[in-house]
Amino acid sequence: MNSKTLKVMILYASYGNGHYQASKAIETVFRRKGVTDIVLLDLMAQAHPLINEFTKFVYLNSFKTLPSIYGWIYNATRKMQSETALLRLINSFGTSTLLQAVTSFDPDLVIHTFPQLTLPRLLKKTGMSIPLINIITDFDLHGRWLHPEIHRYYVATDDLKQEMKDLGIPEERIMASGIPIQPDFNRIRQESSHLNNLLHKNKKTILLMAGAYGVMQGNHDICEALTSSSQYQLIVVCGRNKELYRQLTDRFGNHPDVHIYGYINNVADVMTMSDCMITKPGGITLSEAIECRLPLILYRPVPGQELNNALYLQRKGIAAIAHNVDSLMVQINSMLHDETRFQEIQHKINDLRKPEAAEVIVNDIMEQCFVTS
């Protein structure tokens, strides 16, 4: 089998935007290497569209209404093993749709960027044999990702690899590759964009990322606090939240030091222009910031994988957690006006970086014995 005949299926989910972005990053690199027979499947959306929309609604609104409940559920099930009744039930969703997709496409391997592990039981039941790969898209490990039938795991950090080894997963099945992001983040950029021309060279630039769906809380208060200081300028990315974009534009649209955008594709450009970023701690956004060596302030992280992501990066010394505007301003002032601390953060970011993770993952997949050339 050569790369041009390799058939790859990537299973993702649309809870947030990160799992899809990781899938697209992997797809991009495969295509650059001549692998073009690729299918991306949002299994829950295809198999159970009503359930999918309801659970997405609950997930996205949990950030605003019941974050502690989501966090309790996440942490209570964090060490759950694959054969427990609850995970067997969760992993039964989409079985018929997945069987039809696998039978029709006949993939040479299947990659999960979301822990909906329906396929292991399906393969066992049908007698089919397909190599299975998991790309873990957070800096935290949840039991949903783990299954004895997974051939290869790609994880964000060496610490995560060690944690999995401690759980008995063979070391040869785990690679600390980093979380895959689009290759655009690995290019040297030109400083000639329209936005760059609007920025003052003598002011610190702060990037406020509300997430792909604009669900981070406290954006208005953050903008009010930052615009009260003449030493900062602000780039605000509202994602797909049109109401947030409208509200912030109405309030700050005429402010010379505030630049407000909706969903953007040139995330790498605005990160490169910035001195630090305020955001919610999703795995992909954090990986993009680390790739750009951008210090982080993680604002009011929601209990669950995002809080655990935040706590990990705080322990590593590359991010600060702020639970209110006052502590946010203290962290910004310290981070941006203490040159020694700023340099220390950037050195620690370099220690944690896993450059070109998507390229590393695809190269490793194609070199493994289950994908012969």
335 within 8 A of 296, measured Cβ to Cβ: no
Report, as an integer, the average pLDDT of 152-175.
98
> Tokens 């797809």 appear where?
27
Query: What are the start and end residues of each CATH 3.40.50.2000 domain in the chain?
Result: 3-179+355-367, 187-352
DSSP SS3 for 154: strand
Report, as an integer, the average pLDDT of 298-306.
92
Helix then strand then coil, in percent of the chain rounded to 5, is 50, 15, 35
Tokens of 215: 């669900």
Q: Can you tell me the distance from the alpha carbon of 181 to that of 285, in angstroms, rounded to the nearest whole number?
A: 9
Q: What is the pLDDT of residues 326-353, one digit of tens each?
A: 999 999 999 999 999 999 999 999 999 9
Report, as an integer, the average pLDDT of 309-322.
98
Q: What is the pLDDT of residues 113-139, one digit of tens each?
A: 999 999 999 999 999 999 999 999 999
Question: For residue 71, what pLDDT band results from cuts at 50, 70 and 90?
Answer: confident
Q: Report pLDDT for 211.
A: 65
Q: Can you tell me the distance from the alpha carbon of 340 to that of 321, in angstroms, rounded to the nearest whole number?
A: 19
Q: Report pLDDT for 63.
A: 64
Q: Which residue has the higher pLDDT, 49 or 278?
A: 278
Tokens of 18: 């990160």
Among 45-49, 267-271, 353-357, the minimum mean pLDDT is found in 45-49
For residue 248, is pLDDT > 70? yes
What global pTM score does this model have? 0.91
Question: Which residue in 205, 19, 183, 209 sits closest to 112, CA to CA?
Answer: 19
DSSP SS3 for 68: helix
Which architecture, in CATH terms, is 187-352? 3-Layer(aba) Sandwich (3.40)
Q: Which residue has the higher pLDDT, 151 or 198?
A: 151
For residue 250, is pLDDT > 50? yes
Work out the mean pLDDT of the chain and round it to a whole number. 90
Report, as an integer, the average pLDDT of 275-290.
95
Q: Which residue has the higher pLDDT, 228 or 198?
A: 228
CATH 3.40.640.10 fits 3-179+355-367, yes or no: no
125-to-95, 118, 288, 293 alpha-carbon distances in Å: 11, 11, 39, 46
For residue 372, is pLDDT > 60? no
Report, as an integer, the average pLDDT of 87-97.
88
Strand ranges, E, within the chain: 7-12, 37-42, 109-112, 132-135, 152-155, 174-176, 204-209, 232-237, 258-261, 276-279, 296-299, 319-322
For residue 216, is pLDDT > 90? no
User: Exposed, middle or buried by CB within 10 Å (0-12, 13-18, 19+), for 256?
Assistant: exposed
Contacts of 6 (CB under 8 A, 6+ apart): 30, 35, 37, 108, 109, 366, 371
